[in-house]
Amino acid sequence: MLYGGVNLENLISASILNADLLHLEDVIHKLETAGADMLHFDVMDGVFVNNISFGMPLLKAMAGATHLFKDVHLMITDPLKYVDAFAQAGADLITFHYESVSDPFAVVEAIHAAGCKAGISIKPSTPAEAVIPFLDKVDLVLVMTVEPGFGGQGYIHEMTEKIEAVRRAISGWDRDIMLEVDGGINGETAEIACKAGADVLVVGSYLFSQEDMTAAIAGMRFGSGEAEEIE
């Protein structure tokens, strides 16, 4: 599909938070076949968010079963403490929350030192400007389009302007920075987010509610004009 004269495709990062965890290997192989680009792995500690999910042992098991890019989203209070452990467990990209630390630069540095791409995420109440000081260092900015903690919530439409603002800020830099959105993404909100400038869509419950995952993923390729190949 064409937007703004370019047809580069956005990427799909499948969140396994609400997948059938008893049959995770089957789920992963279905996602590979259906054309997902990344696996989105939500880590929650019950403190930074009101939910507890999974950690390094499950990531390590998954990493042994797939070559898909492992997109790890840390929703925890002390990400610095766990960067090396998630890197060793197979993370390709580690994203932490701006709100969870006093020194985000130290976390970005530790993630790069561990050999991973680094992402910084902002909650709905945090303004787009918060990420600006990090744009010369990070590989990805994650704009949360729901309150972090649970899958299956509705996309917060006020976040569309924030996606646009982050896209404008990223455009000022001559380096590759992905813009990811997470929460409430479905066929309709995927298009809204891509038009606003997102180039990586995290998709959880919508994907697993679809009979035909291949068609669902193909139906969420809109292109932001900024998408790039990932290694």
Residue number with CB closer to Zn ion (37 or 42): 42
Query: 37 an active-site residue?
Result: no
> Where are the alpha helices (H) located in the chain, listed in sequence order?
24-34, 56-63, 79-88, 104-113, 159-171, 187-196, 205-208, 213-218
Among 12, 13, 16, 42, binds Zn ion (CB under 5 A): 42
Backbone angles phi, psi at 58, to 5 degrees: -70, -40
Among 79, 90, 183, 223, binds ligand DX5 (CB under 6 A): 183
Chain mean position to CA 227: 14
- Residues sharing a CB contact under 8 Å with residue 97, sequence separation 6 or more, in sequence order: 48, 74, 75, 79, 120, 121, 122, 123, 148
| Chosen from ligand DX5, Zn ion, none, partner binding at 183 (C-beta under 5 to 8 Å by type) | ligand DX5
79 touches ligand DX5 by CB under 6 A: no
182 touches Zn ion by CB under 5 A: yes
Q: Based on the number of CB atoms within 10 Å of its own CB, is 23 exposed (0-12), middle (13-18) or buried (19 or more)?
A: exposed
Separation between Cα atoms, residue 139 and residue 155, nearest integer Å: 24
| Chosen from Zn ion, ligand DX5, none, partner binding at 149 (C-beta under 5 to 8 Å by type) | ligand DX5
Yes or no: say if 28 and 59 are a contact pair by the CB < 8 Å rule: no
Say which of 37, 92, 182, 199 is annotated catalytic. 182
Length of the chain: 231
Least Å from the CB of residue 212 to ligand DX5: 17
Binding mask 97-126 for Zn ion (x = CB under 5 A): ------------------------------
For the chain, the straight-line distance linking the first and the last C-alpha, in angstroms and rounded, comes to: 24
Among 84, 153, 169, 219, binds ligand DX5 (CB under 6 A): 153
Among 27, 28, 39, 42, binds ligand DX5 (CB under 6 A): 42
Active site residues: 42, 182
Chain positions contacting ligand DX5, by CB under 6 A: 15, 17-18, 40, 42, 73, 146, 148-153, 182-185, 202-206
